[in-house]
């Protein structure tokens, strides 16, 4: 977890801090002033700010930040199950567990550390509760990095240290902060098939050129291209979502009725958030004993004039 220096005066920094509940968090900063905050509870990215201090991730004002509750916002990790597609609690257990900072992580090829502040976290099935509901031996290594250009990257490596195969689904449930849901469009999902969770996971094909929003949406787009863009017209900015090893994309906004039913989301907050997730859901990933899977999500911001 050592920071990398870029000059004597300006450095990439990695600091361990605590929130009001005493939960350990890691704060990454680059020399320009951009920052990322990660909670060890859930291995969840809670904040991603530009060098001007603009928050790019949405977190509900009503979010419960006290463990074991997951925080409504940021980037919770759904593992080893997404939604209710399985026998586990919704979205699996990773977002509810305490992760550890890993001082000597496994070597990660093609990762250049000189221009990034980063931290390595690890989740292992260390309690009886986890092994009882999901009886598999695994290691989940998560590297979160903040680059000099402000890009945020999450690299996940899941390793099977069991004597038998297991399968899992995964999603980075990313809550983007937006001006207004009616001012946003998503590109990169055109002509794709998707599973509609509002219609019992029925399969449809996207017909429109770009995705715009006028009502509740809860879809899993299948086998998408590796780059998806979220355009926010009012704020004149675009989020670019680049992914590797994550074939699917989840798009979710609860809209007004469901927002009122969620106790940890304000009635009107749905207007200022949109979840667009890099994910592997339709075809779960199967690992044989000793095998490892790697997935990567890279988020960047493009400003327009």
The answer to the question of whether 90 is labelled as a binding residue is yes
**Cα end-to-end distance, the chain, whole Å:** 37
Find the farthest-apart pair of alpha carbons in the chain and give their distance in angstroms, rounded. Answer: 57
The answer to the question of whether 18 is labelled as a binding residue is no
**Sheet with 152-160, side-by-side order of all strands:** 100-101, 116-123, 138-147, 152-160, 292-303, 237-244, 227-232, 184-187
Q: How far is CA 214 from CA 142, 270, 272, in A?
A: 35, 12, 13
Which residue from 271, 275, 260 is spatially nearest to 220, judged by alpha carbons? 275
The answer to the question of whether 44 is labelled as a binding residue is no
d(CA 76, CA 94): 9
Which residues are part of a known binding site for substrate? 72, 90, 95
Which residues are part of a known binding site? 72, 90, 95
């Amino acid at each position: 977890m050592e920071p990398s220096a870029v000059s004597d005066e300006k450095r990439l920094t990695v600091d361990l801090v605590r929130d009001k509940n005493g939960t350990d968090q890691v704060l990454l900063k680059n020399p320009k002033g951009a920052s990322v905050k990660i909670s060890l509870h859930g291995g969840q990215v809670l904040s991603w700010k530009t060098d001007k201090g603009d928050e790019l991730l949405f977190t509900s004002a009503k979010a419960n930040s006290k463990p074991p509750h997951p925080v409504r916002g940021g980037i919770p990790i759904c593992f080893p199950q997404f939604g209710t597609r399985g026998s586990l609690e919704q979205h699996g257990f990773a977002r509810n567990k305490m992760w550890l900072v890993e001082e000597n992580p496994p070597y990660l090829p093609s990762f250049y550390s000189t221009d990034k502040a980063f931290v390595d976290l690890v989740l292992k099935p260390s309690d009886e509760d986890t092994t009882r509901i999901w009886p598999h031996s695994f290691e989940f290594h998560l590297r979160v990095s903040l680059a000099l250009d402000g890009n945020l990257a999450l690299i996940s490596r899941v390793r099977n240290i069991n004597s038998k195969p297991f399968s899992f689904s995964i999603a980075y449930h990313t809550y983007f902060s937006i001006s207004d849901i009616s001012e946003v469009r998503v590109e990169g999902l055109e002509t794709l098939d998707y599973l509609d969770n509002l219609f019992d996971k029925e399969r449809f094909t996207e017909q429109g050129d770009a995705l715009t929003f006028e009502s509740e949406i809860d879809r899993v787009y299948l086998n998408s291209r590796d780059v998806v863009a979220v355009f926010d017209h009012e704020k004149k900015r675009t989020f670019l979502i680049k992914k590797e090893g994550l074939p699917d994309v989840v798009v979710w906004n609860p809209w007004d009725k469901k927002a009122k039913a969620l106790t940890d989301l304000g009635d009107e907050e749905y207007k200022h958030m949109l979840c667009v997730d890099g994910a592997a859901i339709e075809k779960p990933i199967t690992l044989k004993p000793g095998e490892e899977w790697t997935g990567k999500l890279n988020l960047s911001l493009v400003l327009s004039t």
